[in-house]
Amino acid sequence: MHDDDAGTSPTGRGRRPSFRGLPGAVAAGGAAGILGTLLHAQLLVVGGAQLPVGALGALVLASSLFLLSGLWARNVIMSAVAGAVAYGVVALISTAPRTLILTGSSDMAPGTALAGNLWLFGVLVVTLVAVVVGSVVLRPRRGSAPRPAPSRPSGQGDGPA
């Protein structure tokens, strides 16, 4: 039996918390924060309107990484850790002096400002979605408790008589 198994209890009682997925969750959060920040400002111009397709792509990437880290570790807390790390990275990057939203130049680039706001606040939303979806996927199913091995009648291969 592995150290992260829930044992014989279908609810996982007596299970020790496992942080074996912590390095992966931190890496996934860091990657989501950096790659999403690089991607979010990509705009698609359609008829003069700027659509923030980069921000939507960055949120899909981030939610996928958050959910993957939680499912890989079989612990939804790791999805939340990945989201928190990503949000920390995004917050750290947003303190740079050349950030459009913080310097006030967002009035000149409304599409970029919308993409930035979608990315900044969307990280929180997709983190919550990843935690909820992960908890549904990882929830024990009814009747999934291990069944006892069928007993064999004595004298049929139990060993020496």
Where does the pLDDT of residue 16 fall: very low under 50, low under 70, confident under 90, or very high at 90 and above?
Answer: low
Q: What is the pLDDT of residues 113-127, one digit of tens each?
A: 788 889 889 999 999
Q: State the average pLDDT over residues 34-44.
A: 89
Global pTM exceeds 0.75: no
13 pLDDT higher than 70? no
How much is the pLDDT for 105? Answer: 46
**Using CA atoms, how far apart are residues 117 and 133, in angstroms rounded to an integer?**
24
**Residue spans of beta strands (DSSP E) within the chain:** 44-46, 49-51
Q: Which two tokens stand for residue 145?
A: 């408790």
Q: Which two tokens stand for residue 120?
A: 């900044």
Where does the pLDDT of residue 101 fall: very low under 50, low under 70, confident under 90, or very high at 90 and above?
Answer: low
Higher model confidence: residue 160 or residue 79?
79
CA end-to-end span of the chain: 31
140 pLDDT higher than 90? no
How much is the pLDDT for 125? Answer: 95
Where does the pLDDT of residue 1 fall: very low under 50, low under 70, confident under 90, or very high at 90 and above?
Answer: very low
